[in-house]
Structure 1
Amino acid sequence: MTLTFGLQALAGITAGITVAFADEPVRAPSPPLPQIAQEATTPNALVGTESALTQKPPTPRSSQASSAGFVADSRFGLEWRNYTDYYHLSGISRHAWVESLQAKFESGFTRGPIGFGIDAALFGALKLDGGRGAHNMVYNGRHSDGERRLAWAYPGLYSLKARISDSVLKYGLQQVSNPFLDPHDNRALPPTFLGASLLSREVNGLALQAGSFTKADPRGQTNLVDLRTTYGRVSFKRVSYAGATWDYSPDGSVSLYADQADDLWRQYYASLQHGFGNVRSLRLTGFANLYSTHDTGASRQGPIHNNAYSASLSAQRGPHGLLVAYQKILGDQFFDYIDETAGVYLVNSMDVDYNAPHEQSLQLRYTFDGKQAGLPGLTAIVWAQQGWGADTSVGAQRYAQDGASYDALYQRNGQPLHGRHHEFGFIPTYVVQSGPLRNAKFTLIAQWHVGSAFYSDGTNQVYRLLVTLPTRIF
């Protein structure tokens, strides 16, 4: 698959992780209202910058016919992650420093027409700093009362798997990668999800996915919880999805996916990307994607008829690249997605999501790819973007009449959301290329968002340093 401009600039940072995400939508206080792969690639700049971690699906293509056996194909590795975070939001500051470890075992598959295996991982963390208000930046107990805990450990992954030909079926606590359910991995340890998944690559260039999940093990927690939406904060029992990505040529791909969150919504996703030229002279890449969301069943988050799309055009010559991206929300509701996931592949979902009703946003991004300049392992990203046109007047009126608990999402300082806001960001990353620290990754993330008096996302600053050291035992 030809990766889009943003991904090309991150070559070497990520091993097939092609999902992006903004930070969680923490909004500024506004009294008296309460606060509230290879598949489906996206050129969002935060792709892979915060994880070198346990490999996420889709895994490299492999066939059951070539299986060497349960033991012979087994792998065991460790990843140490040193996570430091400082977050400042409209006068409220929180900070954390955590050392974490993921010890992951992946068995091979037994020989025969149908192969069987297991995956398991132990997650653990030690808090070096972080006090009250740090929430999931450190340990967040079942009742949000665990911030004094100094260390925690738990089974972060466990699943049974079976393989026929080039198709793998898994059940258990696992990680998947698709436009709806993808781990939001920007803390010391990633979230995982309980359910079943299928990844099939029987046809060269075509990847099929399907799955059904019922629980999440969130960031900063050690217990399973119900799935819920990120902005509406509505819990639901199950989400099921199916979709495909087709690499129709060495320069392009198309993706189509659909999901259903029970009694909540049906969501559809489509993307298309195509590249022309060569980075040594000039490479142009176009990317466009669309989410369409509609309520279903009991409509527990109210009526939803929302379309959201983004489009980008990028140019890269040698180590230097430039991208322009536009995004728009069509509908009277926020574009929402499942909590603990990066299920928002919209290009302008960077520090904040720019996902308010009717909102538009424009981004300009520069990337530096050190590999093209004789500095392999070094990359850097700088971006600026602005959002405008948000209008939540319809939602504010409806939720006020219904007495919904999340009507504060649609108001700020007593008015429906409106006005402009903007952000800037800088992410340099270096991956050690040789020696005893080979594959160690150092990532600095600096983001500044400037809100407005009548917009949901407040003014914030984020400074995050992550150092990851993967070690393969066998």
Structure 2
Amino acid sequence: MTDIRTSASLLAALGLGLSCNASADFIKDSKASVEARNMYMNRDFRQSNAAQAKAEEWAQGFTLRVESGFTEGTVGFGLDAIAQTAIKLDSSRDRRGTGLLAYGAQSLEPEDNYGELGLTAKVRVSKSVLKLGTLQPQLPVAAYNDVRLLSSTYAGGLLTSQEVDGLTLNVGRLEKINLRDSSSNDEMNYGGVDSAHLDLAGGSYAVNPNLTLTYYYAQMDDIYQQHHFNLIHNAKLGEGVSLKTDLRYFDTREHGDHRYRSAARVDGGRIDNRFFNGMVTLGVGSHKFGLGYQNLSGDGDFAFPGLDPYSVNLVTFNVFSKAETDAWQARYDYDFSALGIPGLSFMTRYVSANHIETAAISGGKEWERDTDIAYVFQSGTLKGLNIRLRNATFRSSGGLTTDVDENRVIIGYPLALW
């Protein structure tokens, strides 16, 4: 099979080789931006007597994004690019592992710098766009991660169609993954077992402005197959009062030759579970009050690619996706614009989980408490500059997972180049 990156290069060359007139929108509709992100992160493990007392690193990242328009005509061609680099400011072998910096597999020394370049060829027909090459999907069955210096990427192909008003369809195949602290494209993987690819198909339909229904099917070759259903409803209850309901359900089973059984997990690594999670959020003026719940039943951990499961309990440190995990969440958000300070926001949440099953522990418990305060400059020379202070505390029972006290300081500055 022709390599996807080679196909992307050929499509790009074809699009760029058209006449200057046909390329007018290719240039005119293009845009480029760069984001500088400075991040300090400290994870303290000392309270759990872990072998590594803490993980502490400070680094600077830069991400350049360039997106072309499409050439004119019934079939339009375009090309996107993403270039990322991270620079070590402070780290060491005994403080590595925050996810900010790559480190050598043998030496375990954090790299002084690392980076990557990704290219994406795209073809548009009517309201459908095919992308080949580097991808960053945000879908319930496959999402990229962007909570460190650099964002993760996938390599593959993705077709997105919006031919029908209110309906968005996606069909794709992801063949490689590049994690947030890596500069290499690796095999799709779950539980330490490689897979040739992940196929996905599905979409979302806006029944009306307040109700959206979603369905997706995903299959990680020889590991798992998955059905996903999602309902999001927004209701206005009165002046300044709203209620948002977000309900998510996954049915995940084994697929193929079941190589995942070799993993040292509960039930021999078997995947056969149902995962319900959802959140109801009441908005009152500048306040938001959220209540979330999840139930993961069946055999094995919840399966997903990369680092981000589509769950309301994907929080700062933990993902609460171990086998049989039941959990609830309480969350509060406040927007300080009501007090005359636009751009300043506050969030705190608490997640408590129990009934957790692993190969070594039955009936385990976990909890996490997070607090964020963030400010985005609204005007002047520093417009867009954002500062976030993030604190997380995580605890588990019986050595289920290493306990953590964590602090992050994140400073970001996005700049539109054209």
Aligned to 1:242: 201
CA distance in 1, matches of 2:100, 2:324: 35
TM-score by length of structure 2 reads 0.87
Residue 234 (structure 1) shift: 1.4
The answer to whether 1:266 aligns with 2:232 is: no
For 1:162 and 1:142, the matched residues in 2 are separated by: 38
CA distances 1:69-114 after superposition (whole Å, capped 9, x unpaired): 1111111221101011111233430111111111221111100011
**Counterpart for residue 277 of structure 2:** 310
* Structure with larger RCO (C-alpha < 8 A, sep 6+): 1
Cα gap change, 1:331/1:373 in structure 2, threshold over 3 Å: closer, same or farther?
farther
Quote the offset at 1:370 in angstroms: 3.0
Give matches, 1:401-416, under 5 Å: 410-411=359-360, 416=361
- Cα deviation for residue 172 of structure 1 reads 0.5
C-alpha spacing 1:311/1:97, structure 2 compared with 1 (3 Å): same
Alignment match of 1:71 (pick from 16, 27, 46): 27
364 and 77 in structure 1: CA distance in 2 versus 1, 3 angstrom threshold: same
Which has the larger strand fraction? 2
The 1:304–1:97 alpha-carbon spacing in structure 2 relative to 1, beyond 3 Å, is same
Distance (Å, rounded) in 1 between the aligned partners of 2:337 and 2:226: 38
Residues 201 and 359 of structure 1: CA distance in aligned 2, closer, same or farther (over 3 Å): same
Equivalent of residue 56 in structure 2, options 95, 105, 115: 95
CA offset at residue 307 of structure 1?
0.6
Tell me the residue number matched to 2:369.
424
Equivalent-residue separation in structure 2 for 1:383 and 1:131 (angstroms): 32
User: What's the CA shift for 1:345?
Assistant: 1.5
Q: CA deviation at 1:426?
A: 0.4
Taking only aligned residues, the RMSD between alpha carbons, in angstroms, comes to 2.0
Q: Which residue of 2 aligns with 1:57?
A: none
Asked if residue 452 in structure 1 is aligned to residue 397 in structure 2, the reply is: yes
| 385, 407, 410: which one aligns with 1:440 | 385
Distance in 2 between residues matched to 1:174 and 1:313, nearest whole Å: 31
Q: What code does the residue aligned with 2:321 have?
A: N
1:345 equivalenced with 2:304 (yes/no): no
2:244 maps to which residue?
285
CA distance in 2, matches of 1:211, 1:307: 24
| Cα distance, 1:146 vs structure 2 | 6.0
Q: Distance in 1 between matches of 2:299 and 2:114?
A: 42
**Percent identity between the two aligned chains:** 27
What corresponds to 2:20 in structure 1? none
Q: What is the letter of the counterpart of residue 301 of structure 2? A: F
- Provide, for residues 351-409 of structure 1, a one-character-per-residue CA deviation record: whole Å limited to 9, x for no partner: 312222222111111111234554322221111121112234xxxxxxxxxxxxxxxxx
For the 8 Å contact 1:136–1:219, the answer to whether it is kept is no
Runs (5+) with no aligned partner, structure 2: 1-22, 262-269
Post-superposition Cα deviations, 1:224-274, rounded to whole Å, max 9, x if no partner, equal 111111xx2211110010111111111121110111000011011111121
Q: Does 1:377 align with 2:318?
A: no
Number of equivalent positions: 382
Q: Secondary structure at the match of 2:143?
A: coil
* 2:69 corresponds to which of 96, 104, 108: 108
1:135 alignment partner, SS class = coil
Note closer, same or farther for the CA distance 1:148–1:325 as it changes in structure 2 (3 Å cut).
closer
Deviation (angstroms), 1:442: 1.4
Supply the AA of the counterpart residue of 1:288. Answer: L
Partner of 2:411: 467
Aligned to 2:325: 359
Partner SS for 1:187: coil
Q: Distance in 1 between matches of 2:353 and 2:66?
A: 44
Q: Measured at CA, do residues 346 and 153 of structure 1 come closer, stay the same or move farther in structure 2, by a change above 3 Å?
A: closer
Unpaired runs of 5+ residues, structure 1, are: 1-66, 393-409
| SS at 2:364 equivalent | coil
In the alignment, what sits opposite 2:97? 135
1:418 offset after TM fit, Å? 2.2
Question: How many angstroms apart in 2 are the aligned matches of 1:135 and 1:284?
Answer: 39
1:137 and 1:187 in contact (8 A); partners too: yes
Shift of 1:142: 6.2
1:205 match = 166
- Cα offset, 1:462, TM superposition: 1.7
Change (3 A) 1:153 1:138: same
Report the residue type matching 1:436 in the other structure: T
In 2, the alpha carbon distance for the partners of 1:68 and 1:374 equals: 45
Is the 1:99–1:128 contact (alpha carbons within 8 Å) kept by the matching residues of 2?
Answer: yes
Question: Structure 2: how far apart are the matches of 1:425 and 1:219?
Answer: 22
Alpha carbons of structure 1 residues 280 and 436: separation in structure 2 relative to 1, 3 Å: farther
Segment of structure 1 superposing worse, 241-250 or 274-283: 274-283
Larger Rg computed on CA atoms: 2
* Aligned counterpart in structure 2 of residue 217 of structure 1, from 178, 184, 199: 178
Change beyond 3 A, Cα 1:142–1:178:
farther
